[in-house]
Chain A
Amino acid sequence: MRVAVRVLRAGDTDHELLWALVGLAALGAASLILAAGVPVVVPACVFKGLTGWPCPTCGTTRALLALAAADPRAAFGFNPLAAAVAAGWATYIPYGLGAAWGLWPRARLRLDGLDAQVVGVGAIGVFCANWIYLIAAGS
């Protein structure tokens, strides 16, 4: 695994700006919909209805609504992984915009074959751990 810190070259994808703008657009769209009073329906989980166990995404909508209401404790209680991803992405937005505006050097991660496998296995492990938590908590 190698980490290179360098200024963006011509033709490089500005990932920091890209993910910041996509996150900002998602926040903006959600804010517009909520501000207009469009009712947010929490969909019934078919998997839970079938098996009695929550699926890996159960609690995501409630977690996002709790974060929007500035209640992170409740958000992490509903679905820790979804809350962490949403909170992390929201925190990333100002960094991404700042990096693009301030011409900061960017960190670029290069994963070799084994490193990529380790990261992949780790991600699956985190996903499964979150699911086990949801089942244990009876989400």
Chain B
Amino acid sequence: MTDESSGASTPPPPAGSGDPDPARTGPAWEQPGPWFARFAQTAQALLLGPTQFFRTMRRQGGIGGALTFGILGSVLGGVVNALYQLLLSTSMASFRSAEAARTEALIGMFSTGCVVIVLPFAAVLGMLVGSAIYHLMLLLLGAARRPFETTLRVSAYSSGATSVLNLVPICGAIVAGIYSLVATIIGLAQAHEIPTSRAAVAVLLPILACCVVVALFYGALIALFLGAVAAGVQSQ
């Protein structure tokens, strides 16, 4: 492989302290200023230059800021998606009757409200579980050179920034899903100072494993169904 980890990696600092690497100044989100401007600058920096972003991301120093960024991005993307669905379903219902449109609008607004309430918790759970899986994979590959906090920060910033792509109607979700994987791989490689190949295996292998499980489960269901049909035919 051509990619090698950096030869001059810094040792992990004591717990609770910031990143000792002076080049890691952190994203705009971790600097003072209006929150919306910080959020927009951070998302733009990650989406347009993930390698440089994660090269300068602090690897330690608390998870609150990164998690907040991830939650904000996820809620923003989720709410916009819900509003798109509300708009389309209400418009389609209006072709039937005004009453149907009103009913659809009420259901849609209730759904959107539920999304706003539930999504922050779901986002935090998703980031924690996803980070845990990635960090476990890194440990198994012998590539976890930084603590879990570093992996969580990568996951939080990746998911928060790429969720913004959901603002693009129709095809935004597809692009967001793919780019989230790419950004996470780049982030893990830069933050843990490991080869791109190991970061890619840590992220992609669990997804493939899920597909194998789904395929096996579905195959077993089909086999059971066919067996039941064959048994019924034989008994007649």
B212–A32 touching, CB < 8 Å: yes
* Partner pick for B204 among A12, A14, A22, A101, CB 8 A cutoff: A22
- The answer to whether B208 and A47 touch across the interface, beta carbons within 8 angstroms, is no
Residues on B with C-beta less than 8 A from A135 are: none
CA A8 – CA B214 in complex, angstroms? Answer: 38
**Contact mask for chain B residues 1-26; partner A; CB cutoff 8 A; 1 contact, 0 none:** 11111110000000000000000000
**With A11-B190, A13-B186, A33-B215: A47-B197 Cβ-Cβ less than 8 Å:** no
Please count how many residues in chain A sit with their CB below 8 Å of the partner chain's CB atoms.
33
Within 8 A of A (CB), among B159-207: 170-171, 174, 178, 181-182, 185-186, 189-190, 193, 195-197, 200-201, 204, 207
Q: Which of B1, B5, B181, B193 has a CB less than 8 Å from the CB of A100?
A: B1
Is B181 in contact with A14, judged by CB distance below 8 angstroms?
no
Is the CB–CB distance between A37 and B88 below 8 Å? no
A29 x B92 contact (CB < 8 A): no
Instruction: Assess A47 versus B170: contact at CB under 8 Å? Given A17-B200, A35-B215, A100-B197.
Output: yes
Q: B186 and A22: CB pair below 8 A?
A: no
Given A13-B190, A37-B222, A28 contacting B196 (CB threshold 8 A): no
The contact of A18 among B1, B7, B200, B214, by CB within 8 Å, is: B200
Report whether A17 and B196 are in contact in the complex, using a CB–CB cutoff of 8 Å: yes
Closest to A12 in B: B3
In the complex, what residue of chain A is closest to B9 when comparing beta carbons?
Answer: A11
Contact A18 B171 (CB under 8 A): no
Cβ of A13: which chain B residues have Cβ within 8 Å of it?
Answer: 3, 50-51, 186, 189-190, 196
Nearest residue (CB) in A for B213 is A32
Closest 9 CB pairs of A and B: A36-B215, A14-B196, A25-B204, A29-B211, A14-B3, A21-B200, A32-B215, A11-B6, A13-B51
A-B contact pairs, 22 of them (CB 8 A): A8-B2, A11-B5, A11-B6, A11-B190, A12-B3, A13-B196, A14-B3, A14-B195, A14-B196, A19-B182, A22-B178, A22-B182, A25-B204, A25-B208, A28-B208, A32-B208, A36-B214, A46-B88, A46-B92, A57-B171, A57-B174, A100-B1
Known: A21-B200, A33-B215, A38-B214. 14 other contacts (CB 8 A): A7-B2, A11-B6, A12-B3, A13-B189, A14-B195, A14-B197, A17-B197, A22-B181, A25-B204, A28-B211, A35-B215, A36-B218, A37-B219, A56-B171
